[in-house]
Chains A and B, each alone.
Chain A
Amino acid sequence: MTRNFALFPLMVVITLISLPLMVMYGFLILDTVTDAPPGALWPDEFTLRHWRFLWDMSAAGNVWKATLNTAVLALSMVAVVVPVSSLAGYAIARLNLPYRRFFLGGILVMHAFPAVTLLIGVFFVLKFAGLYNTMIGVILVKGALMLPFGIWIMKGFYDAVPWEIEMAGVQDGASRLTVFRRLILPQVKPGLVALSVFAFLDGWGEYLLPRVLAPGSDMTVMSVLLNGLIAGDDIGYDFNLFKAVGVFYTLPVIALFAIFQNRLMTIFGGGTKG
């Protein structure tokens, strides 16, 4: 890294630009344990009142059940996306498939093209499969929408595995499947971990699909619960309560991110969000 230039002006500029984010995230945490007088920026008292929703179900609904539902959705996403993507990613990276170019092109296109605009068609499929208003339906749809991303990422990891490993295995007489299982999969472990974290985060934050495809109250996830709090027109806006619920909801995300940050950074560039 070059060190010949002054650092100070850069620091000022980037801090200024980052200020909105710092304020938003700073106050996000601060406001959950404090109260400010109306019209004031700075809080003047400490309180745990905003966290009452953890035991008082009348404050924000049943957050524990919603958390459980969210976890089910997020973990199921991992269970669907990771195995399916790692199999397909291997096939597409290393095996001789018919129409392989077409698959790859298609996956690239789908990868870049979020299919949420196709909700009506998705609903129609779910209606016929009898999966509307079920969590399974949401998981399958959400999982399928993430597959192009998953396959693409996994293909990248397989591509980085030296061909020699595979050749050696095949020359020793092992079947392709055995080679894949014994030799290749351990090589792409970082990819599997990263994709798992991604799938989990994606499922954890999802709002639109559960909201549209599974509106029944049994399946309320945290995102829907949180938005329902804000959308209700007959309670006053209690932003500190919303933030406390939001922070509670986001804790697992932050934890995962903190643990896996470096690994995620390397493939984050492939994310599909705007």
Chain B
Amino acid sequence: MSSFADPIVDGARRARPVRPRRAPVSRLGLILMAPALLLLTLFFFLPVALTGVFAFTDLSTSTGIGRGDYVVTPTLLRQLGDKGLSDTDAEAVARSSVTVDAAGLARARAAGVDDRFLDEIERRFMGRDYEAPAGFVRDLRGLRTAPRRPRDLKSAAALFETSVLNQRFATSQALAAQLEAMAPEIAPAVRARIVEASFTGARFTTENFRTLATQKETARLVGNTFLYVGATLSLFNVGLGLFLAVVLFYMPKGASSLFSTLWLLPRITPVVLYAVMWKWFTWEGGFLPILADQVGLPSFNYMKGSVVTAWATMITLNGFIGASFGLILFSGALRAIPLQQLWASEVDGASRWQQVRRIILPQMRWPILFVTAYQTLSLLSSYEQIWLTTNGGPGRTTSVWALEAFKTALSNYTGNLEYGMGAAMALVLVVVGLALSLIYLRLFKFSELVGRPKIEI
């Protein structure tokens, strides 16, 4: 993307009277762009940026998205124990006690606990200590004025209790303060370590990329993705698209438009229905298996029953959607060939094949390149059709990168949504996509597409 070396624009500029080269920025233009920019920023650029950030975190179901509390759990204490936290310290942290004293009653009164209930607590249990909250709750339930609802009673009881275990603190300071008040004997350094480890939210890490770089699965996924994109593209989007375009070019108008409509159907059919049709076509009890059975060929669920047929199904069903893209583009390019040129060749006695090879195909170089470029990107990041049909099966043999990213982050059986890892996988696609786009922009002479405005008001 170097300079504005566009002859059309230059010509137009020369024809006009002299005016300043740097025209004022159009305010109207900015206003007209504003809604688009707002939407694109919110739902395009921001998600891309967030994906970039999330990719470097361990964000998952258990960390939650964009938040985190400080909680000391028995599990955490056990883990810290493995890392050298002493048993006495662990016990001190896990300590929990209930004391019925004036301060507790005041807190309860302030929190709005029923006065008659508090009076009875004061009368009956003042000064008592309980080892565990359960005993206190049991005692409270014996009171005549005890609230009917368990939640009310337990909330009131909790106001007399001192413990940190299993309580969620919004800030590290709050947890540290509570720990200090409750177990002052724990050394500050140890306390800091406990607080640090108790954070439940996501942490920054480059672990996702290390995992992607080292696990064997990556190579398989990349291989699958190449196979999928390469085969779909060459066989269907370009191959079949070109073939259809050329054949339809030679056919009478009626038949030609009939077939091009037929081939457009997969593109406009809602994807869910399209998936249903393919299931009916390939599953046991469906069209192909019944047909195969009648002519004595192996009959089974072709979509999921063997690796080879699963691949064939997946590539074909995606290719049928993609073929129309090539068909339309190539047809347009074909119509641009001067008919005289074709007639002349026929007069010279060229066969159809010679005509196609010598005249038509050379004209198709750029359209082919364009379809390849454009559809590589689309195929790389499309997974909806695969998800709804083979779903990467049998046994993940037909899974591709984009599908796996989606499943990792958002859709898997165990509900273990690894947003961070999924974002890392998506980021890889973003980077690949951007790189390819930049190359294509150069390839297709971006400057020609960017004519400069001719009235600068």
Contact = CB atoms under 8 A, between A and B. Distances in A.
Tell whether any CB of A sits under 8 Å from a CB of B in the complex: yes
A212 B291 CA distance: 37
A226 B272 CA distance: 7
A18 B263 contact: yes
Contacts, number: 329
Given A84-B39, A249-B273, A121 B48 contact: yes
Contacts of A167: 454-455
Interface string A92-116: 1111111011011100111011111
A14 B429 contact: no
Interface in B247-293: 247-253, 255, 259-273, 275-281, 283, 285-287, 290-291, 293
B276 A207 contact: no
Given A14-B251, A144-B44, 19 more contacts: A2-B339, A85-B36, A88-B37, A91-B26, A96-B24, A109-B437, A109-B441, A113-B381, A115-B43, A116-B406, A140-B39, A144-B43, A205-B272, A226-B272, A250-B273, A257-B268, A268-B267, A268-B325, A274-B318
Given A87-B33, A88-B36, A274 B375 contact: yes
Nearest to B293: A39
Given A96-B24, A120-B410, A226 B276 contact: yes
A121 B429 CA distance: 14
A115 B45 CA distance: 10
Interface string A155-190: 000010001001100100000110000000000000
Interface of B: 1, 12, 23-26, 28-30, 32-33, 35-37, 39-40, 42-44, 46-51, 54, 65-66, 232, 237, 240, 243-244, 247-253, 255, 259-273, 275-281, 283, 285-287, 290-291, 293-294, 316, 318, 320-322, 324-325, 328-329, 332, 339, 342-343, 346, 352, 374-375, 377-379, 381-385, 388, 402, 405-406, 409-411, 419, 422-423, 426, 429-430, 433-434, 437-438, 440-441, 446, 449-457
Nearest to B280: A239
A237 B255 CA distance: 36
Task: Tell me if B's interface is mostly helix, strand, loop or mixed.
Answer: helix
B332 A144 contact: no
Given A4-B346, A205-B270, A242-B276, A114 B39 contact: no
A145 B44 contact: yes
Contacts of B453: 93-96
Interface in A72-89: 80, 83-85, 87-88
Contacts of B449: 104, 108
Contact of A115 (B44, B375, B438): B44
Contacts of B23: 96
Given A10-B251, A124-B66, A119 B406 contact: yes
Interface centre among A97, A113, A123, A127 (most CB of B within 10 A): A113
Interface centre among B47, B286, B441 (most CB of A within 10 A): B47
Contact of A112 (B65, B324, B437): B437
A143 B378 contact: no
B409 A119 contact: yes
B392 to A, nearest CB: 16
Interface centre among A20, A96, A101, A122 (most CB of B within 10 A): A96
Contacts of B249: 1
Interface of A: 1-2, 4-5, 7, 10-11, 13-14, 17-18, 20-25, 27-28, 31, 38-41, 80, 83-85, 87-88, 90-98, 100-101, 103-105, 108-110, 112-125, 127, 129, 140-141, 143-145, 147-148, 151, 159, 163, 166-167, 170, 176-177, 201, 204-205, 207-208, 212, 222-223, 226-227, 230, 237, 239, 242-243, 246, 249-250, 253, 257, 261, 265, 268-269, 271-274
A84 B31 CA distance: 11
A117 B277 CA distance: 26
Contacts of B51: 117-118, 120-121
Nearest to B273: A246
Contacts of B43: 115, 122, 125, 140-141, 144-145
Contacts of A166: 454-455
Contact of A109 (B28, B321, B434): B434
A118 B422 CA distance: 9
A127 B343 contact: no
Contact of A87 (B36, B275, B411): B36
A274 B42 contact: no
Contact of B381 (A116, A212, A271): A116
Interface centre among A94, A98, A129 (most CB of B within 10 A): A94
Q: Which 4 A-B pairs have the closest CB atoms?
A: A121-B47, A95-B29, A144-B43, A121-B50
A204 B265 contact: no
Contacts of A207: 270-272, 384, 388
Contact of A159 (B268, B271, B316, B451): B451
